[in-house]
């Protein structure tokens, strides 16, 4: 479902010794709206009504400890999602949110999630039905923000899942269409229209004086970094404030930081250094091998592997499938001193324990992204990230709300018991009390 690519694996050897001398990857320290103050105060929205019910039930049963955990979770700043409605209704809803945020003297994180064929008609299906309907909706969304400050997370999965999209543009002489091929969409125009709508949204929202806009950068266990960079550039990332990672997913923050830096580096490489060579960018599906301790060893044989999502990546680990030093070296060689400048934010709402590994369960379709067990809340939202290109850690996905009616490939949604939870999971966006407590108990504090 989530296609990767492995191009460019043999383009890194040139200039290896030069790269050793420049091993520390240089990144830009340019600021953005959230970074204007030492610490941004993010908006805390009203919690899901069923979270209040769970809190009351826990108190009534005498379980004050768990009640406190739920209260703390819903009292943490998190995003407000806008997923439907007319231009007028979304304008009113956004305006109301902006007013509440102003009352808190806080910056809201707003998610625009209404693009046609969103989620390719899966658990979170819906959205506008035409290009005109979507652009009118974006106009209403922008009007609701007005002159106030906001962060906009534009269309989660909007670039990870594109209808009738061929990432290579058939340049390799084959039909490279990805899996999302809805019958209702025109195969000749659907992908182009997706990019046109996102560009329109970027330009409309960036015309506002105090809005920061981020586009979908998927995550470190999904698209290769060059593929993501290519999609982002087509969607207008160079006119936006950057991209976001890990929305509604569970990947480690350390891995996402590496991945985001690679995507940013690839954008710079394929726009300023070697135009259009996005698929020549190193990616997480072949790391080139750990960096040798001595320059002489560079002339020996390197044995690269794909990076694993089930551990935290670093440049100095002895575990080959977690070692990032080779990829970082290759980007330094390719950039030749040109610094990447595209910033990003990371959704840490549910990544405190990293991703779930379902390999031992033997499910026909594990759906590792869908209500996985044993996960935990991640780091609290902050604009003080300690990483030059990372503008903020945010809670974008609302922790405690279901990812959908997960079946693990064992039957139809809505009637099939999820074997990991022993129940039919709540619909996407509905409150999931059992998972909410699981996340709170396993929080990364």
- 301-329: pLDDT as tens digits: 566 899 999 999 999 998 999 999 989 99
Mean pLDDT across 209-218: 98
How many CB atoms sit inside 10 A of residue 182's CB?
15
Query: DSSP states of 200-246 as a string?
Result: HHHHHHHTSTTEEEEEE---TTSS-HHHHHHHHHHTTGGGSSEEEE-
SS3 153: strand
Extract the tokens encoding 140: 């209403």
Q: Which helix (H) or strand (E) holds 138?
A: helix 131-145
CA angle 374, 356, 63 (to 5 degrees): 10
User: 189: pLDDT confidence band, cut at 50, 70 and 90?
Assistant: very high
Each residue's pLDDT tens digit, 138-171: 999 999 999 999 999 999 999 999 999 999 875 4
Mean pLDDT across 182-187: 92
Instruction: Decide if pLDDT at 34 tops 60.
Output: no
In percent, how much of the chain has pLDDT > 90?
Answer: 81
Q: Which helix (H) or strand (E) holds 255?
A: helix 253-268
pLDDT value of residue 291: 63
pTM: 0.90
Instruction: Decide if pLDDT at 371 tops 60.
Output: yes
The Cα 150–Cα 157 span in angstroms is 21
pLDDT value of residue 221: 98
Q: How are beta strands 242-245 and 109-112 bridged, if at all?
A: unpaired
Each residue's pLDDT tens digit, 401-433: 999 999 999 999 889 999 999 999 999 999 999
Report CA torsion sign: 228, 232, 235, 240. Answer: positive
Extract the tokens encoding 431: 């409150």
Q: Is 199 left (phi over 0), alpha (psi -120 to 50) or beta?
A: alpha
pLDDT value of residue 176: 85
The Cα 26–Cα 337 span in angstroms is 8
Nearest Cα residue to 347 out of 376, 389, 380, 371: 380
SS3 393: strand
Contacts of 292 (CB under 8 A, 6+ apart): 298, 300
**Please, what are the domains in the chain?**
16-441 (3.20.20.40)
Each residue's pLDDT tens digit, 241-285: 999 999 999 999 999 999 999 999 999 999 999 999 999 999 999
Extract the tokens encoding 303: 């044995």
How many CB atoms sit inside 10 A of residue 379's CB?
17
Among 37-46, 324-333, 392-401, 429-438, name the one with the lowest average pLDDT: 37-46
Each residue's pLDDT tens digit, 277-303: 999 999 999 988 766 554 435 545 566
pLDDT value of residue 137: 98
Instruction: Decide if pLDDT at 363 tops 90.
Output: yes
Contacts of 271 (CB under 8 A, 6+ apart): 233, 238
């Amino acid at each position: 479902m989530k296609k990767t690519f492995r191009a460019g694996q043999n383009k890194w050897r040139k200039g290896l010794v030069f790269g050793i001398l420049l091993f520390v990857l240089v990144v830009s320290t340019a600021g953005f709206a959230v970074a204007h103050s030492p610490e941004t105060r993010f908006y805390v929205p009203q919690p899901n009504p069923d979270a209040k019910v769970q809190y009351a039930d826990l108190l009534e049963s005498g379980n004050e400890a768990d009640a406190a955990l739920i209260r703390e979770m819903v009292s943490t700043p998190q995003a407000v999602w806008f997923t439907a409605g007319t231009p007028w209704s979304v304008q009113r809803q956004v305006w109301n949110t902006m007013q509440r945020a102003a009352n808190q003297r806080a910056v809201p994180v707003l998610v625009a999630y209404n693009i046609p064929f969103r989620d390719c008609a899966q658990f979170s299906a819906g959205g506008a039905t035409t290009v005109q309907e979507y652009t009118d909706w974006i106009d209403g969304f922008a009007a609701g923000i007005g002159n106030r400050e906001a962060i906009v997370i534009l269309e989660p999965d909007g670039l990870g899942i594109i209808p009738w999209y061929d990432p290579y543009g058939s340049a390799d002489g084959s039909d490279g269409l990805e899996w999302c091929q809805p019958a209702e969409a025109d195969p000749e125009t659907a992908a182009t229209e997706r990019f046109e709508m996102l560009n329109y949204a970027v330009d409309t929202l960036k015309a506002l004086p105090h809005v920061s806009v981020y586009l979908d950068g998927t995550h470190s266990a999904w698209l290769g970094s060059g593929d993501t960079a290519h999609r982002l550039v087509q969607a207008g990332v160079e006119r936006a404030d950057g991209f976001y990672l890990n929305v509604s997913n569970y990947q480690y923050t350390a891995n996402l930081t590496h991945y985001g830096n690679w995507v940013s580096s690839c954008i710079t490489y394929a726009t300023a250094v070697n135009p259009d060579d996005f698929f020549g960018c190193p990616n997480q599906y072949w790391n080139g091998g750990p960096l040798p301790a001595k320059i002489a060893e560079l002339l020996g044989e390197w044995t690269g592997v794909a990076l694993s999502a089930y551990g935290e990546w670093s440049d100095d680990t002895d575990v080959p499938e977690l070692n990032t030093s080779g990829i970082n070296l290759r980007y330094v060689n390719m950039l030749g001193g040109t610094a990447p400048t595209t910033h990003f934010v990371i959704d840490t709402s549910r990544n405190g324990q990293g991703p779930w590994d379902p390999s031992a369960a033997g499910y026909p379709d594990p759906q590792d992204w869908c209500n996985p067990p044993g996960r935990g809340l991640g780091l609290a939202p902050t604009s003080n990230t300690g990483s030059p290109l990372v503008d903020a850690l945010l809670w974008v996905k609302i922790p405690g709300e279901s990812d959908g009616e997960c079946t693990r490939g064992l039957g139809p949604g809505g009637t099939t018991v999820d074997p990991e939870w022993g129940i039919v999971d709540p619909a996407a966006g509905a409150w999931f009390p059992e998972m909410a407590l699981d996340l709170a108990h396993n929080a990364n504090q």
